[in-house]
A and B are shown apart, each in its own frame.
Chain A
Amino acid sequence: MKVPVIADMIAGGETPEILFWVGCSGSFDQRAQKITRAFAAILDKTGIKYAILGKEEACTGDPARRAGNEFLFQMMAYNNIQVLNNYGIKKIVTACPHCFNTLKNEYPELGGNYDVVHHTVFLQQLIDEGKIKLKEGGSFKGKRITYHDSCYLGRANNIYEAPRKVLEMLDAELVEMKRCRTKGLCCGAGGAQMFKEDEPGNKRINIERADEALGLHPSVIASACPFCNTMLTDGVKNREKENEVQVMDIAELIADSMA
């Protein structure tokens, strides 16, 4: 699979339909890279003309801004918007809810106006348009799956149904945690917590959430955010359940099930 980089594409006289914003986790984190490759494979298979920024992509500034460092956020935003506007980007898809939220809600007033979609919404559209066909009796048929709501997708941007609709395609047994949708419990990574130790307390947030999910005895905990994925994977490992329970991104579940 050849992943097109925008600079090459434009040099070749072509423009992409959509820019795939990979994000830092999807670019550098080994586990999250698998999610990135799965989503790129879906884009590739469905024949969508996409491109990535490649080495020109930089952190959106989300963790810096939420930690309180507005200067750093504004610098990152300024540079990213310059790059995106120079390439005349109109539409962006990303597999990271934090990048999604920043690009969609926080860049417009800084001069970056794009049509930004999260990959779960994008996947739902592809399924609705019949562009994604799944195998008969796919690998997840009949398996117990529970979906963990990402805060930056759910409460931050009111996206609750798209990921669930995509999961319904798998013919799996979908079960909900008690704390789901608007009441979904955070994985513990948001607000730049990913980059520091928990404050003193009696439990880690990711373990609290993993326990809730494990209580349902699922085969798969489905995530839609690379940070949630990391946190829940750690939580499952902490309870020594990694051999029975997989934490997988929705893009991976679809990529594995495509005909």
Chain B
Amino acid sequence: MNIAQVLFIALAGVAVWLFAKNIMRIRRNILLGRDEDFSDNKPLRWRNVLLLAFGQKKMFKNPLVAVMHFVIYAGFIIINAEVLEIFLDGILGTHRIFSQPLGFFYIWFINAFEFLAVGVITVCIIFLVRRNVLKLKRFLSKDLNGWPRSDANYILVSEIILMTLFLTMNAADTLPVHYAGDYVPYKFQFAFSSFLFPLLQGLDGSKLVIIELICWWLHITGIFVFLNYLPYSKHLHILLAFPNAYYARLTPQGKMKNMPDIQKEVLYAMQPELAPTGEAATAHHNAFGAKDVFDLSWRNLLDAYSCTECGRCTAACPANITGKALSPRLIIMKTRDRLEEVGKNIDANKEYKDDGKTLLHNYITEEELRACTTCNACVEECPVSISPLDTILQLRRYLIMEESNATPEWNSMFSNTENNFAPWKFSPDERDAWAG
């Protein structure tokens, strides 16, 4: 075993260990949420993984963007096969370990990877322009000020760098020159990297070997860095879109989650003979609705980590379109921010220590929550099966039922409903007056 192999194994080990640690941290954070059952209808759930996550069905509402996004996605997944070779070469100290067994097919494979790499670079440049030069409202939005906007650009730039390194590595490895020593370059040329030959022309074999080595190391190191950047980035959606599609809500979008605790309380009030007595009567119940991330379900918290901040939800939101404070994207981003804060709190104190803050009020305001028309446009738009509405409605429940915090008009609507059986102040005796 040579020193390069030892170095590579150490690097890979650290990268994978760090990544696993971060994923476990995220998993722990998600599981801070309340329980919610999603164990039903497995066949439909797998179908959703296939259609919504692999097939990116919702992206195709805008076919051009969908195709471009698909190029990056396919490039990313398929080029991973090449990363496998790089990984094995690194561990075994070999050079292009698949070239021998695959023979002539190897050239086809690498050509296909190079084609994708060029595609990824092209699309990443277009996406950078879309984000930073074209005035697309959902990217210009103040929702993304600060870190989220930089995050998106870092990802695009690093993908361009990684792909460029891959192509340069191939070019340096295949330029036909005389090599000194025992280094055996790859004897064929590839379809796209050969266009880079003019840039390398005039360099002798030893320099090319160094360039190839540098590119190889930077490329694989870049991939390891990228892997460990994911848990801190919106780009985590490339992983969590899959579980989020599996756990997609399967009930009609109009149905609100039931609250069995309250259903029972009302039943016992109406039929006291059914009410439990003794210990069962004083059983602990959770707060009604959600004040903080702990009160949401793990499903809502998975939503928060799956969001890639694309803003399709906000662009479709009638409240946001008409200038209200509500942005469904921000509801999800703030949930993630608060959850990350709670996670750090737990890391520092072994368990959560009250920091005097909550998702409701400190992160999400009443004004935002009250602007929602529950129209489901945000839910319908989301390509990765997030429901901002589910979170909004749970926060609303807390406002009303635990804080009695409603607008005066809503309080009248409540009392009319309770006393006159209609949200307006009409006499119930007039209900069938229209027929008369």
- Chain A positions near chain B (C-beta within 8 angstroms): 1, 3, 5, 22, 24, 26-29, 33, 36-37, 40, 52, 54-55, 57-59, 61, 63-72, 74-76, 78, 101, 104-106, 109-110, 151-152, 155-158, 182-183, 185-186, 188-205, 208-209
- B135: Cβ under 8 A from any A Cβ: no
Nearest chain A CB to B115's CB is how many angstroms away? 34
> Which residue of the partner chain, among B258, B259, B321, B413, contacts A67 with CB atoms under 8 Å?
B413
Contact across chains for B253 and A156 when beta carbons are under 8 A apart: yes
Contact with A along B13-53 (1 / 0, CB 8 A): 00000000000000000000000000000000000000000
Contact across chains for B375 and A72 when beta carbons are under 8 A apart: no
A contact residues around B288 at 8 Å (CB): 70
Nearest chain B CB to A58's CB is how many angstroms away? 4
Determine the distance from Cα of A3 to Cα of B431 in the docked complex, in whole angstroms. 13
Q: Which 3 residue pairs are nearest across A and B when measured between Cβ atoms?
A: A156-B254, A191-B374, A202-B323
A contact residues around B377 at 8 Å (CB): 151, 155, 183, 185-186
Contact across chains for A183 and B316 when beta carbons are under 8 A apart: yes
Contact across chains for B318 and A155 when beta carbons are under 8 A apart: no
A contact residues around B424 at 8 Å (CB): 24, 28-29
> Which residue of the partner chain, among A22, A36, A65, A186, contacts B318 with CB atoms under 8 Å?
A186
19 more contacts with CB within 8 A, not counting A57-B431, A192-B410, A196-B370, are A1-B435, A52-B432, A55-B428, A61-B417, A63-B423, A67-B400, A67-B413, A68-B393, A68-B397, A68-B398, A75-B418, A105-B251, A106-B258, A156-B253, A186-B373, A198-B371, A200-B323, A201-B322, A205-B319
- B270: Cβ under 8 A from any A Cβ: yes
Binds A, one of B260-268, B336-344, B349-357: B260-268
Q: Known: A151-B375, A196-B407, A199-B326. Is A3-B417 also a contact (CB below 8 A)? A: no
Determine the distance from Cα of A204 to Cα of B318 in the docked complex, in whole angstroms. 9
Contact across chains for B422 and A199 when beta carbons are under 8 A apart: no
From residue 380 to 436 of chain B, which have CB atoms closer than 8 A to chain A? 380, 393, 396-401, 406-407, 409-410, 412-414, 417-418, 421-424, 426, 428-435
Contact across chains for B417 and A208 when beta carbons are under 8 A apart: no
Nearest chain A CB to B185's CB is how many angstroms away? 55
Contact across chains for B324 and A200 when beta carbons are under 8 A apart: yes
B contact residues around A155 at 8 Å (CB): 253-254, 375-377, 379-380
- B289: Cβ under 8 A from any A Cβ: yes
- B325: Cβ under 8 A from any A Cβ: yes
Determine the distance from Cα of A71 to Cα of B207 in the docked complex, in whole angstroms. 76
Contact across chains for A27 and B422 when beta carbons are under 8 A apart: yes
Which chain B residue lies CB-closest to A69? B400
Determine the distance from Cα of A164 to Cα of B377 in the docked complex, in whole angstroms. 20
Determine the distance from Cα of A106 to Cα of B254 in the docked complex, in whole angstroms. 9
> Which residue of the partner chain, among B371, B375, B414, B432, contacts A55 with CB atoms under 8 Å?
B432
Nearest chain A CB to B189's CB is how many angstroms away? 49
- B252: Cβ under 8 A from any A Cβ: yes
Q: Known: A63-B417, A205-B373. Is A152-B423 also a contact (CB below 8 A)? A: no
Contact with A along B301-343 (1 / 0, CB 8 A): 0000000000000001011011111100000000000000000
A contact residues around B284 at 8 Å (CB): none
Nearest chain B CB to A245's CB is how many angstroms away? 21
- Chain B positions near chain A (C-beta within 8 angstroms): 251-256, 258-259, 262-263, 265-267, 270, 288-289, 316, 318-319, 321-326, 367, 370-377, 379-380, 393, 396-401, 406-407, 409-410, 412-414, 417-418, 421-424, 426, 428-435
> Which residue of the partner chain, among A72, A182, A198, A201, contacts B380 with CB atoms under 8 Å?
A182
Which chain B residue lies CB-closest to A30? B434
Determine the distance from Cα of A72 to Cα of B373 in the docked complex, in whole angstroms. 19
Contact across chains for A200 and B367 when beta carbons are under 8 A apart: yes
The residue in B322, B367, B422, B430 that gathers the most chain A C-beta atoms within 10 A of its C-beta is B322
Contact across chains for B376 and A156 when beta carbons are under 8 A apart: yes
> Which residue of the partner chain, among A33, A69, A191, A203, contacts B373 with CB atoms under 8 Å?
A191
Q: Known: A28-B431, A69-B400. Is A208-B422 also a contact (CB below 8 A)? A: no
Which chain A residue lies CB-closest to B392? A191
Q: Known: A52-B435, A110-B258. Is A208-B321 also a contact (CB below 8 A)? A: yes
Contact across chains for A64 and B417 when beta carbons are under 8 A apart: yes
Contact across chains for B429 and A151 when beta carbons are under 8 A apart: no
Query: Could you give 17 example pairs across A and B, Cβ below 8 Å?
Result: A5-B432, A22-B431, A22-B432, A24-B422, A27-B422, A54-B431, A67-B413, A68-B396, A72-B414, A105-B251, A109-B258, A157-B252, A183-B316, A199-B367, A203-B322, A205-B319, A205-B321
Nearest chain B CB to A74's CB is how many angstroms away? 4
Q: Known: A24-B424, A58-B421, A110-B258. Is A199-B414 also a contact (CB below 8 A)? A: no
B contact residues around A37 at 8 Å (CB): 434-435
A contact residues around B410 at 8 Å (CB): 67, 192, 195-196
A contact residues around B318 at 8 Å (CB): 185-186, 188, 205, 208-209
A contact residues around B316 at 8 Å (CB): 183
> Which residue of the partner chain, among A156, A191, A197, contacts B252 with CB atoms under 8 Å?
A156
Q: Known: A65-B256, A106-B256. Is A199-B380 also a contact (CB below 8 A)? A: no
